[in-house]
A = this chain, B = another copy of it.
Amino acid sequence: MTGLTADVVVVGAGLIGLATAWRLAADGIQVTVCDPTPGTQTSTVAAGMLAPVTEVEYGEDDLLALNLASVAAWPSFAAELQDAAGVPAGLHQTGTLAVAYDVDDAAALRRLADYQRRLGLEVEELSGRESRQREPMLAQGVSGGVWVPGDHSVDNRQAVTALLRAVEVSGVTLIRERVARVITSGTTAVGVQLENGDSIHAGQVIGAAGPWSGQLDGVPQELRPPVRPVKGEVLRLRVPEAYRPALTHTVRATARGFSVYLVPRPGGELVVGATSTELGYDTRVLAGGVFALLRDARTVLPITDELELVEAIAGLRPATPDNAPVLGPSGLDGLLWATGHYRNGVLLTPITAQIIAETVRTGVLPELGKPFLAGRFTAR
């Protein structure tokens, strides 16, 4: 098995790595993806919100532009993926309702709506009553809302399944092994060595290992991206037939200062997320995390108490110092990054795959990707 070759080898088979591999294969490029457990980590835990508007943060304009481009790219990406895979890609274009509970929550939501309008984003402020007209099961205590018609959601587990099928049918080689190190020749990456000792030689290596991307041996220390794991706990609830649909849109709530989101899926699943904890590579589900999610969910959606708790799971977001991803040239020839997507991995899957595929094809990082070069962290 030793001495395999490929045009491109992708390290990591989460949504980002798989989508990039699929896009490259569509261009006729021979791609190998390596991951000990494809599609089982962060990509499977996520709730799948596509919320560039609802979750906009003050001063992150470049990231907002990237996020908006990606939410715009999702419908055609999903349609093509569905065609290629023969199974649903999981996109649900339902819009998102941001709601506030108490007076302080409402004030914060109004300030955010002002900012969203100044940015030219499409938002509509609602009273508590108007919010409940859109989502009748919301608590009486919900005091106001903002309707965001362009923020949607993706069933990320369906997307993972579809991408695994799509890469298979498009001729991508998937190797279920961990990459031990990147192989270099001088200042150029020329492939990877697997934990089983095999090596794969490739003209291009793509680092898409999410929170593990900073640990790739063979990459000089100073060129490794400053990606750290931020744990998020997520619950999956089941709405009994009698109460369906408990929600018809994604609900993003601020309840007594705490943030929670509730993402309904067709079929009765309701995903509740997410905590945020910096505890290293620890994916234990803690009682305090589950408590906080349930407390906030039931504050805004009292019927939560009557829903079955089907799953409590934790994943690791790949966070960076400025909350934005790391895309494109790494400083080591032959190695591109597609990592550091933090809270926006599902959202940024189509645009990341497109940017990286174009970079491989043309040798030039597209304009949209330029603010996200790894070099920005060492430059300052």
Contacts and interface: CB of A to CB of B under 8 A. Distances in A.
Contacts of A285: 308-309
Nearest to A288: B305
A294 interface: yes
A308 B294 contact: no
A379 interface: no
Nearest to A295: B291
Contacts of A308: 284-287
Contacts of A312: 309, 312
Interface in A255-301: 284-288, 290-291, 294-295, 297-298
Protomer copies: 2
Interface residues of A, number: 21
A54 interface: no
A296 to B, nearest CB: 11
Contacts of A322: none
Interface in A58-107: none
Contact of A287 (B286, B287, B298): B298
Contacts of A307: 286-287
A304 interface: yes
A291 B294 contact: yes
Given A238-B284, A287-B307, A288-B304, 18 more contacts: A235-B287, A237-B287, A284-B308, A285-B309, A286-B307, A286-B308, A286-B309, A287-B298, A287-B304, A287-B306, A287-B309, A288-B306, A290-B290, A290-B294, A291-B291, A294-B294, A309-B312, A312-B312
Interface of A: 235, 237-238, 284-288, 290-291, 294-295, 297-298, 304-309, 312
